[in-house]
Amino acid sequence: MDADRGIERLPRGRHGLSPEFVAQNQRRRLISGLTQGLYEVGYQKTTVSLIGRRAAVSKSDFYKHFGSKDDCFVAAYDAAIERIRGQLVAACEKADGKAWSQQMSETIEALLKLFATEPALASMVLVEGLRAGRGVYDRYQAAIESFVELMRQTEPPSAEGTEAPEATDEAIVGGIAAMLGRRVLAGETEQLTELFPEILEFVLGAYLGAEEARRIVSAG
Protein backbone atom coordinates (compact mmCIF):
# COMPACT_ATOMS: atom_id res chain seq x y z
CA MET A 1 0.00 0.00 0.00
CA ASP A 2 1.46 3.25 -1.16
CA ALA A 3 0.31 5.24 1.84
CA ASP A 4 2.39 3.01 4.13
CA ARG A 5 5.37 3.09 1.85
CA GLY A 6 5.15 6.87 1.88
CA ILE A 7 5.36 6.96 5.66
CA GLU A 8 8.73 5.18 5.73
CA ARG A 9 11.43 7.40 7.08
CA LEU A 10 14.71 8.00 5.40
CA PRO A 11 17.85 6.87 7.19
CA ARG A 12 19.02 9.34 9.82
CA GLY A 13 22.25 11.30 9.57
CA ARG A 14 24.44 11.40 6.50
CA HIS A 15 22.87 9.38 3.76
CA GLY A 16 24.12 10.96 0.55
CA LEU A 17 20.58 11.42 -0.80
CA SER A 18 19.99 14.45 -3.00
CA PRO A 19 18.02 17.35 -1.50
CA GLU A 20 15.44 16.93 -4.27
CA PHE A 21 14.97 13.30 -3.34
CA VAL A 22 14.56 14.16 0.32
CA ALA A 23 12.07 16.90 -0.49
CA GLN A 24 10.02 14.64 -2.75
CA ASN A 25 10.03 11.96 -0.12
CA GLN A 26 8.91 14.40 2.58
CA ARG A 27 6.13 15.67 0.40
CA ARG A 28 4.88 12.17 -0.26
CA ARG A 29 5.03 11.37 3.44
CA LEU A 30 3.06 14.51 4.32
CA ILE A 31 0.41 13.61 1.78
CA SER A 32 0.15 10.11 3.21
CA GLY A 33 0.04 11.51 6.73
CA LEU A 34 -2.87 13.75 5.84
CA THR A 35 -4.71 11.01 3.97
CA GLN A 36 -4.41 8.60 6.89
CA GLY A 37 -5.24 11.26 9.46
CA LEU A 38 -8.33 12.24 7.54
CA TYR A 39 -9.47 8.65 7.45
CA GLU A 40 -8.87 8.01 11.11
CA VAL A 41 -9.84 11.23 12.86
CA GLY A 42 -11.55 13.42 10.25
CA TYR A 43 -10.61 16.75 8.71
CA GLN A 44 -10.99 18.98 11.78
CA LYS A 45 -8.69 16.89 13.97
CA THR A 46 -6.10 16.34 11.27
CA THR A 47 -3.94 19.28 12.26
CA VAL A 48 -0.64 20.31 10.74
CA SER A 49 1.13 18.94 13.85
CA LEU A 50 -0.60 15.60 13.51
CA ILE A 51 0.29 15.37 9.83
CA GLY A 52 3.88 16.26 10.66
CA ARG A 53 4.07 13.69 13.45
CA ARG A 54 2.70 10.93 11.24
CA ALA A 55 5.03 11.86 8.43
CA ALA A 56 8.01 12.38 10.73
CA VAL A 57 8.46 15.81 9.21
CA SER A 58 8.85 18.94 11.32
CA LYS A 59 6.20 21.62 11.29
CA SER A 60 8.57 24.10 9.71
CA ASP A 61 9.36 21.60 6.97
CA PHE A 62 5.63 21.14 6.44
CA TYR A 63 5.35 24.80 5.59
CA LYS A 64 8.18 24.50 3.08
CA HIS A 65 5.91 22.20 1.09
CA PHE A 66 2.45 23.56 1.73
CA GLY A 67 0.99 26.93 2.65
CA SER A 68 -1.69 25.38 4.83
CA LYS A 69 -3.52 22.20 5.70
CA ASP A 70 -6.00 22.99 2.92
CA ASP A 71 -3.13 23.18 0.45
CA CYS A 72 -1.87 19.83 1.57
CA PHE A 73 -5.39 18.41 1.27
CA VAL A 74 -5.75 19.61 -2.31
CA ALA A 75 -2.34 18.16 -3.18
CA ALA A 76 -3.30 14.87 -1.55
CA TYR A 77 -6.60 14.86 -3.39
CA ASP A 78 -4.96 15.47 -6.74
CA ALA A 79 -2.38 12.77 -6.06
CA ALA A 80 -5.16 10.31 -5.19
CA ILE A 81 -7.09 11.07 -8.36
CA GLU A 82 -3.91 10.61 -10.39
CA ARG A 83 -3.35 7.20 -8.83
CA ILE A 84 -6.89 6.15 -9.65
CA ARG A 85 -6.59 7.41 -13.19
CA GLY A 86 -3.29 5.52 -13.54
CA GLN A 87 -4.94 2.29 -12.43
CA LEU A 88 -7.89 2.78 -14.76
CA VAL A 89 -5.69 3.59 -17.74
CA ALA A 90 -3.51 0.56 -17.04
CA ALA A 91 -6.57 -1.69 -16.80
CA CYS A 92 -7.99 -0.27 -20.03
CA GLU A 93 -4.70 -0.80 -21.83
CA LYS A 94 -4.40 -4.34 -20.57
CA ALA A 95 -7.88 -5.10 -21.85
CA ASP A 96 -7.29 -3.39 -25.19
CA GLY A 97 -8.52 -5.45 -28.11
CA LYS A 98 -10.86 -7.51 -25.93
CA ALA A 99 -14.65 -7.30 -26.10
CA TRP A 100 -16.12 -4.07 -24.74
CA SER A 101 -17.84 -5.83 -21.86
CA GLN A 102 -14.50 -7.39 -20.91
CA GLN A 103 -12.81 -3.98 -20.94
CA MET A 104 -15.49 -2.62 -18.62
CA SER A 105 -15.21 -5.65 -16.42
CA GLU A 106 -11.45 -5.36 -15.94
CA THR A 107 -11.57 -1.61 -15.36
CA ILE A 108 -14.28 -1.86 -12.73
CA GLU A 109 -12.43 -4.66 -11.02
CA ALA A 110 -9.22 -2.63 -10.88
CA LEU A 111 -11.07 0.35 -9.41
CA LEU A 112 -12.76 -1.67 -6.69
CA LYS A 113 -9.54 -3.45 -5.76
CA LEU A 114 -7.75 -0.15 -5.36
CA PHE A 115 -10.49 1.27 -3.11
CA ALA A 116 -10.79 -1.89 -1.04
CA THR A 117 -7.07 -2.11 -0.34
CA GLU A 118 -6.75 1.60 0.36
CA PRO A 119 -9.75 2.65 2.41
CA ALA A 120 -8.15 5.98 3.32
CA LEU A 121 -7.81 6.86 -0.35
CA ALA A 122 -11.38 5.75 -1.07
CA SER A 123 -12.71 7.82 1.77
CA MET A 124 -10.82 10.93 0.74
CA VAL A 125 -11.82 10.75 -2.89
CA LEU A 126 -15.42 9.59 -2.56
CA VAL A 127 -16.53 11.22 0.67
CA GLU A 128 -14.24 13.97 1.96
CA GLY A 129 -13.71 15.51 -1.47
CA LEU A 130 -17.41 16.23 -1.74
CA ARG A 131 -17.69 17.67 1.73
CA ALA A 132 -14.60 19.81 1.70
CA GLY A 133 -16.17 22.82 0.02
CA ARG A 134 -16.09 24.34 -3.38
CA GLY A 135 -12.41 24.14 -4.28
CA VAL A 136 -12.11 20.42 -3.81
CA TYR A 137 -15.57 19.75 -5.19
CA ASP A 138 -14.35 21.23 -8.47
CA ARG A 139 -11.60 18.64 -8.48
CA TYR A 140 -14.04 15.85 -7.73
CA GLN A 141 -16.14 17.03 -10.65
CA ALA A 142 -13.10 17.27 -12.94
CA ALA A 143 -12.05 13.77 -11.91
CA ILE A 144 -15.47 12.31 -12.66
CA GLU A 145 -15.45 14.07 -16.01
CA SER A 146 -12.03 12.73 -16.85
CA PHE A 147 -13.21 9.20 -16.01
CA VAL A 148 -16.18 9.77 -18.30
CA GLU A 149 -13.74 10.72 -21.07
CA LEU A 150 -11.77 7.58 -20.40
CA MET A 151 -14.93 5.54 -20.69
CA ARG A 152 -15.89 7.22 -23.93
CA GLN A 153 -12.66 6.03 -25.49
CA THR A 154 -14.15 2.57 -25.42
CA GLU A 155 -16.87 1.79 -27.89
CA PRO A 156 -19.97 0.12 -26.51
CA PRO A 157 -21.78 -1.95 -29.13
CA SER A 158 -25.18 -0.28 -29.36
CA ALA A 159 -28.20 -2.53 -29.39
CA GLU A 160 -30.20 -2.46 -32.63
CA GLY A 161 -30.50 1.11 -33.75
CA THR A 162 -30.56 2.59 -30.26
CA GLU A 163 -27.81 4.79 -29.01
CA ALA A 164 -27.11 5.62 -25.41
CA PRO A 165 -27.72 9.37 -24.97
CA GLU A 166 -24.96 11.82 -24.01
CA ALA A 167 -25.79 12.06 -20.35
CA THR A 168 -25.71 8.29 -19.87
CA ASP A 169 -21.94 8.04 -19.50
CA GLU A 170 -21.91 10.87 -17.01
CA ALA A 171 -24.84 9.47 -15.06
CA ILE A 172 -23.16 6.07 -14.88
CA VAL A 173 -19.81 7.32 -13.62
CA GLY A 174 -21.37 9.90 -11.27
CA GLY A 175 -23.89 7.34 -10.06
CA ILE A 176 -21.29 4.70 -9.29
CA ALA A 177 -19.13 7.25 -7.49
CA ALA A 178 -22.11 8.35 -5.37
CA MET A 179 -23.08 4.77 -4.58
CA LEU A 180 -19.52 3.85 -3.63
CA GLY A 181 -19.33 6.96 -1.48
CA ARG A 182 -22.42 5.82 0.41
CA ARG A 183 -20.89 2.37 0.96
CA VAL A 184 -17.68 3.97 2.21
CA LEU A 185 -19.66 6.18 4.59
CA ALA A 186 -21.41 3.07 5.86
CA GLY A 187 -17.99 1.61 6.73
CA GLU A 188 -18.08 -1.04 4.00
CA THR A 189 -14.96 0.02 2.11
CA GLU A 190 -13.20 -3.29 2.48
CA GLN A 191 -16.19 -5.14 1.04
CA LEU A 192 -16.38 -2.97 -2.07
CA THR A 193 -14.98 -5.74 -4.29
CA GLU A 194 -18.10 -7.78 -3.53
CA LEU A 195 -20.07 -5.20 -5.50
CA PHE A 196 -18.21 -6.06 -8.68
CA PRO A 197 -20.96 -8.11 -10.42
CA GLU A 198 -23.65 -5.57 -9.50
CA ILE A 199 -21.70 -2.63 -10.84
CA LEU A 200 -20.77 -4.46 -14.00
CA GLU A 201 -24.39 -5.40 -14.61
CA PHE A 202 -25.43 -1.80 -14.03
CA VAL A 203 -22.90 -0.45 -16.53
CA LEU A 204 -23.58 -3.05 -19.19
CA GLY A 205 -27.35 -2.72 -18.73
CA ALA A 206 -27.34 0.96 -19.61
CA TYR A 207 -25.86 0.19 -23.03
CA LEU A 208 -26.91 -3.33 -23.87
CA GLY A 209 -30.23 -3.62 -22.09
CA ALA A 210 -30.97 -5.41 -18.84
CA GLU A 211 -31.39 -8.89 -20.33
CA GLU A 212 -28.10 -8.90 -22.20
CA ALA A 213 -26.26 -7.47 -19.20
CA ARG A 214 -27.65 -10.21 -16.99
CA ARG A 215 -26.61 -12.87 -19.51
CA ILE A 216 -23.02 -11.60 -19.72
CA VAL A 217 -22.60 -11.22 -15.96
CA SER A 218 -24.09 -14.66 -15.26
CA ALA A 219 -21.77 -16.22 -17.81
CA GLY A 220 -18.87 -14.73 -15.83
Partner 1 sequence: MSSTRPELSREFVAGHKRRRMMDAIAELTAEQGYEATKIADIVRRAAVARKTLYDNFDGKEDLFLSAVSATMTEMRVVVEEACERSGADPEAGIVAGLEALLDFVAEHPSASRMCMVEAISATPSSARLYDAGVHDFVELLQKSAPDRAELPETIEESLVGGVAWILQLQIRKGDAERAPELLTELSQFLLSPYPGVGKVVNTGRRK
> Given the rule CB under 8 A, which of 9-17, 29-37, 113-121, 163-171 is the region that contacts partner 1?
163-171
> Given the rule CB under 8 A, which of 30-38, 51-59, 111-119, 157-165 is the region that contacts partner 1?
157-165
**Binding partner 1 by CB under 8 A: which of 7, 48, 75, 171?**
171
Scan residues 53-82 and list those touching partner 1 (CB under 8 A): none
CB 109 within 8 A of CB 196: yes
Residue placing its CB nearer to partner 1 in the complex, 61 or 201: 201
Check binding of 41 to partner 1 (CB under 8 A): no
Check binding of 150 to partner 1 (CB under 8 A): no
DSSP reduced 3-state for 101 = helix
User: What is the distance between the alpha carbons of residues 136 and 166, in angstroms, rounded to a whole number?
Assistant: 25
**Binding partner 1 by CB under 8 A: which of 15, 166, 219, 220?**
166
**Exposed e or buried b per residue across 26-46, where buried means at least 16 C-beta atoms within 10 angstroms of its C-beta:** bbbbbbbbbbbbbbeeeeeeb
Rg of the chain over all Cα atoms, to the nearest angstrom: 20
By CB atoms closer than 10 A (0-12, 13-18, 19+), residue 11 is: exposed
Q: Which residues sit at the interface with partner 1, rule CB under 8 A?
A: 130-134, 137, 141, 144, 159, 162, 164-168, 170-179, 181-183, 185, 195, 197-199, 201-202, 205-206, 209-211, 213-214
